[in-house]
Structure 1
Amino acid sequence: MAGIRITDPPAPGSAVRFAPDFGQRFILTVDTEEEFDWNKPIERSGHTVHTIARLARFQEFCQGAGICPIYLVDYPIATSPAAADILRGPLAEGRAEIGVQLHPWVSPPHDEDVTEYNSFAGNLDPALEREKFTRLRQAIEGNFGKAPLIYRAGRYGIGPNTAQILADGGIAIDTSVRSNFDYSFAGGPNFRRLPLTPWWIDADRRLMELPLTTVYSGMLRQIGDWLYPRLWRIPQMRGVLSRLGIMERIPLTPEGVTLPEALRGIDIALDMGLPVLVFSFHSPSLAPGYTPYVRNEDDLDALYDWWRGVFAYLRKRNVAPTTVVEIMASVELA
C-alpha cells in the first residue's frame, strides 16, 4: 500500500459492492474519549475520564433498541479498568463492537510537541504514527478482549502513511473521512472532494473506507460542495441559507443537528442510495458539562430523545442497524 493515501479520490472501479440482500443499513459510532475543554488549546495532561460511567446507560439504551454501538476508543479509555468492566461483557456477547480512535496528544510514546498540526496523527513522522497506533491497538485488545477491526483518526487526521499502518495492524475499515468537510486550514486533511459511498482504498481490497455521512439539503444542495466552502469568510451567510431552506450541511450526529434536520438528512442519504449511513457523536456528551452540546440534564434528555426519533424513523424507512462484522461479511470481493 506504499504511496496510497486515503485522502486521494478513489480509483475507478473501487466502489464497495454489497450482497443483494444487504439493502441499506446504518451504524452508530461513538468517539469514546477523555474529557477536555473544547475551548482551550489541546494539552497532553489535565483531562479526565468521568463520563466512562455513563457508557453503561448508553449501552443498555442501545441494547433495548436492538442497536450494536461501535465504540472507537482512544488511549485514556483503552487503559481504563472502568471502561473495560462496562464494555467487556457486551463485546463478548456481540452487543457492542470496539475500534481504535487515535488522539496522538494523549497516546504514547510522547515524542512530539503538542501543537495543532501534530494533533492530526497523519502529520506525524511515520514511525511515530505507527508506534502510537500499535500501542493503542494492543491496549484495546488486551483490556477489552477483542481485536479492533475499525479505525477513526482523532480530529479525522489521517495522512499519507495511515493506510499502510492500518492494513498492517489488521484494520478492515477506516472511517476517518468526513466527506464535505475541510480541515486544511488547521493543517488537517481536506475531504471535500471525497464521496459518501464506501470504497476500497487498496487494489487488494484489504482496507475499506466508510465515510461519515454528511449531506447537503435545500434548493442549492447540488452545488453544495462548491458553494459551501466559499462562504467560510461569511459564516453568517451559511445560517441565512439554512434558515431559508436554500442550503444546509447536515452531518448525521446529535451534536449541533436537530432531529428534523437529521431526518431530512437521512432521507437525502437514502435517496442517494448510500448503502451504509454512518452516525457519530462524542462520548463526553453522555454527561452534562463536558461538550458544548450537552450543558445540562435537559440537553442530555434531548440527546436521548434525538436517538429515539432517529431509530424510529430508520425503522419506518426499513433501514436496519448493522455492524463491522456484518459489513465485512456482506461485501462482494469478486
Structure 2
Amino acid sequence: MRRPQVLFLLSIDTEESWDWSGPFPESSWCVENVQQLRPFHQVCYDLGIRPTLFVDYPVAADEKAVQVIRDLQRTGHYEIGAHLHPWCNPPYYGSPNERDSHVVNLPTEQVDAKLSQLVRLLKERFGVQPTSFRTGRWGIDGKVARLLKKHGFSIDSSVYPFWQNEFFDCHDAHLEPFWASLQDPQRPAVAKDIFEIPVSVGYNWRDFHRANRWHRRISSRGLSPLKPLALAWFSHWLRKLYLSPELTSAEDMLGLIDQMLANGRRVFHMYLHSSSLIDNPNSLVANHNAFHETSRALAAVLSHLKAKADVQCRTLGEARAQLQELAV
C-alpha cells in the first residue's frame, strides 16, 4: 500500500509572558522565554522541522529577543509571521479588558492602526514583509481578513476548529487549508486572497464532526452537575484532542494523528507558545520540566507520523506554495 504524502507544520506564538490571572498589561511583561528558542532550535533542526514564528509587538520591541530571532533567521529554517496582542500593541485606546483582548471585537480603525505599527516594526527588526498572521486569542472575521490583505498578508492561521466563545464560533470551520472569503473567513472563496491554514484539532473518533456534535451536547450547562465531559474523557469514550503539547499528552496526540490519517488528512499543524518552553501555569500538560516535555512530545509525534506517512516539514509560507492549487 502506498504511504500517504503529508505535511507537518509547527507554528509558535512568539510572545511575552505574564500572569494570565491578572489584568491585560500594556507594559510590565517579560520576554525572557524567547531565549529558549535557541536550544529549541537544535531540537527542531535535528527533527527537520521548519517553524513559523508568529512574533508579537513586545518581542519585536526587545533587543535581546530580536537578536535571538535574527540568529534563527540566518539558519534559513524559519518564517517570521505576525501575531497581534491588542492589549500590548500600540496605539492604545483605553484600558484593556477581556472583550477587547479579542481582535474581532475592536473597531476597524483600531485594528488597522495596530497592524500598521506591528508590520512596520517587524519589517524594521527582521527585514521582511510578514505574509502569515495569527490573531491573539484566536478568531477572525471579515473586517480582520480585509485588513490583512491591505497590510500585505496572504496567509492566516486564526481559525481554531471546534472552538467557540462568546465572541466567535469555529465549530463549522474547514479542517484542511482553504482559500478564505474576505466576507466570512471561515467559508471558502473562489478569489485567492487569504489562504487559511487552521491548526489541527480533532477527536478520538474517526468522524470528527459527529464527535463534535456529541461533545457540544454533553457540554451543555444543564448537564454540568453530572460532569459528563470528565466521564467521557476518563472513560476514553470521547476525547477532544489538540495537536499541541500544551493541551494534549503525547500519547493522545498520537491517537489524533491516527484518526487524521484514517480521515485522509494531509496537513498536520501543531502549535505552541514560546512561553511553553519554560515552566509556567498556563500550559495544561507540560507545566513542569516544560522544555524537556515539549521537546519529547514533539519528537514522539513526528516519529509516529513518519512511521506511517512520507512527511515533509514546511513553514506556513512553504505549505501555502505547495497546497494552494489543491485547496478548497
TM-score computed with the length of structure 1 as normaliser: 0.86
* Amino acid aligned to 1:37: D
**CA-CA distance at 1:248 after TM superposition:** 0.9
2:56–2:85 contact (8 Å) kept in structure 1: yes
Q: What secondary structure is seen at the aligned counterpart in 2 of 1:178?
A: coil
The residue matched to 1:100 in structure 2 has which SS?
strand
Judge conservation of contact 1:153–1:176 (CA < 8 Å) in 2.
yes
Match of 2:199 in 1: 212
Paired residue secondary structure (1:118): helix
Q: Does the residue aligned with 2:137 lie in a helix, a strand or coil?
A: helix
Q: Distance in 2 between matches of 1:222 and 1:131?
A: 38
Q: 1:196 aligns with which of 157, 162, 175?
A: 175
**Alignment-derived partner of residue 332 in structure 1:** 325
Give the 3 Å change call, closer, same or farther, for CA 134–290 of structure 1 in structure 2. Answer: farther
Which residue in 2 is equivalent to 1:272? 263
Contact 2:133 2:158 in 1 (8 A): yes
Cα displacement (A) at 1:239: 2.0
2:205/2:211 contact within 8 Å kept: no
Q: Say whether the 8 Å CA contact 1:252–1:265 is kept in structure 2.
A: yes
Decide which of 105, 110, 127 is 2:92's aligned counterpart: 110
**What is the Cα deviation at residue 107 of structure 1?**
0.4
Q: Distance in 2 between matches of 1:327 and 1:212?
A: 13
Q: 1:76-97: CA deviations, max 9, x gaps? A: 0111222221121332442111
In structure 2, the CA distance between the partners of 1:93 and 1:123, relative to structure 1 (3 Å rule), is same
Match for residue 134 of structure 2 among 152, 166, 175:
152
**Would the alpha carbon gap of residues 269 and 229 (structure 1) be closer, same or farther in structure 2, given more than 3 Å must change?**
same
Task: Report whether the alignment pairs 1:284 with 2:275.
Answer: yes
1:98-137 map, 5 Å = 98-137=80-119
The separation in 2 between residues aligned to 1:112 and 1:123, in whole angstroms, is 14
Match of 2:249 in 1: 258
Note if contact 2:132-2:156 (Cα within 8 Å) is conserved in structure 1: yes
Structure 1 pair 31/219, CA: closer, same or farther in 2 (3 Å)?
Answer: closer
Q: Would the aligned equivalents of 2:195 and 2:320 in 1 still touch at CA under 8 Å?
A: no
**Aligned sequence identity (%):** 28
Q: Deviations over 1:256-297 (max 9, x none)?
A: 211110001111122222231110011111112363444433
Q: After TM superposition, list the pairs within 5 Å mapping 1:291-302 onto structure 2.
A: 291-293=282-284, 294-297=286-289, 299-302=290-293
Map 1:60-139 → 2, pairs under 5 A: 60-139=42-121
Q: Distance in 1 between matches of 2:150 and 2:292?
A: 41
**Cα distance 1:85–1:292, how it changes in 2: closer, same or farther (>3 A)?**
same
**C-alpha displacement at 1:305, in angstroms?**
1.0
Distance (Å, rounded) in 2 between the aligned partners of 1:34 and 1:109: 18
Matched, 1:179 2:161: yes
Deviations 1:66-123 (A, max 9, x none): 1111110111011122222112133244211111110000000001431111001121
CA RMSD of aligned residues (A): 2.2
Residue identity opposite 1:206 in structure 2: D
1:119 touches 1:157 (CA, 8 Å); kept in 2? no
Moved more, 137-146 or 257-266: 137-146
Q: Distance in 1 between matches of 2:316 and 2:138?
A: 19
- Matched residue type, 1:270: L
Out of 140-149 and 162-171, give the one that drifted further.
140-149
Q: After the TM superposition, which of the residue ranges 159-168 and 100-109 deviates more from structure 2?
A: 159-168
C-alpha separation in 1, matches of 2:149 and 2:143: 10
Structure 1 residues 220 and 212: alpha-carbon distance in aligned structure 2, compared to 1, 3 A threshold: closer
Specify the alignment match of 1:242 in structure 2. Answer: 233
Deviates more, 1:198-207 or 1:129-138: 198-207
SS of the aligned residue for 1:208 comes to: strand
- List per-residue Cα deviations over 1:189-227 (Å, max 9, x = no partner): 110111201111143202111111100214885522222
* Aligned counterparts of 2:74 and 2:317: Cα–Cα separation in 1: 13
TM-score normalised by length of structure 2: 0.88
